[in-house]
Amino acid sequence: MYTFDEGEIIIINKPTRWSSFDVVRKIRNTIRFKKIGHAGTLDPLASGILILATGKKTKTISSLQATTKEYIGTITLGGTTPCFDLELPIDKTYPTEHITNELIHATALTFVGEQMQYPPIYSAVKQDGKRLYIAARKNEEVELKKRSVTISAFEITKIEMPIVYFRVVCSSGTYVRSLANDFGKAMNSGSHLSSLCRTKSGDITISQATDLEKWVDDFKAWKRNQETS
């Protein structure tokens, strides 16, 4: 039984190429219920856990969003992009011949802990009352402000040069795209985030998430059953 007014928590495994709002809109149109929001934006190229809340449970969004997150993904060394991932093409290339496996592992360890991080210029962060990506698209000069984040773990799980596979556990508000960009800089090279999946949000794991189309199909089946019973 769905009680969207009283409140439902919906855990979706967001597909790549969908924005977080695309998912909200899809489910809103499916359930025909307007009061719905999400806890913690995922970039369009990222997949994984996206938590949605309806009705009275939208009041819990702030607390759901503030939890520690876990991600797995890949960083590709040797090239940067303006947005730090592949939504925009590579604009600069850098040497990687000097980068060894030992350097990669040692550099990852330097990012563990509390630190100040610049958000990407192409991000939804508000600065001086304006979304950064709006200023970026207008080619406006913006002086980025660092934000305090905590990276509890930055584990290198596999290296297939120039691709580095990783797992990261971080505080809410951490930009893994910024981490990917900073990672290359720290090795006197360049890099960008080439794939990302959110595998944990607070106590919620990816195994609890439902593929978007499956959730929609399951809801429609439930709705038809309600109408015929």
Q: Do domains 9-66+203-228 and 69-201 have the same CATH topology?
A: yes
Task: Tell me which amino acid residue 151 is.
Answer: I
Residue labelled with tokens 């950064």: 132
User: Checking phi first, is residue 206 left (phi over 0); if not, alpha (psi -120 to 50) or beta?
Assistant: alpha
Structure tokens at 83: 């947005």
Q: What is the chain's pLDDT, residue by residue, as a tens digit (229 residues)?
A: 789 999 999 999 999 999 999 999 999 999 999 999 999 899 999 999 999 999 999 999 999 999 999 999 999 999 999 999 999 999 999 999 999 999 999 999 999 999 999 888 766 666 666 565 555 565 666 667 789 999 999 999 999 999 999 999 999 999 999 999 999 999 999 999 999 999 999 999 999 999 999 999 999 999 999 888 6
CATH number for the segment(s) 9-66+203-228? 3.30.2350.10
Query: Cα–Cα distance between 34 and 64 in angstroms, integer?
Result: 20
Query: Cα–Cα distance between 90 and 36 in angstroms, integer?
Result: 36
Structure tokens at 116: 């100040």
Domain ranges of the chain: 9-66+203-228, 69-201
DSSP state of 128: T
Using alpha carbons, select from 17, 49, 19, 51 the residue that is nearest to residue 36.
51
Catalytic residue among 5, 22, 43, 203, which?
43
Query: Cα–Cα distance between 88 and 83 in angstroms, integer?
Result: 6
Secondary structure of residue 151 in the 3-state scheme: strand
Tell me the pTM. 0.91
182 is catalytic: no
- Can you give the pLDDT at residue 137? 63
Fold of 69-201: Pseudouridine synthase (3.30.2350)
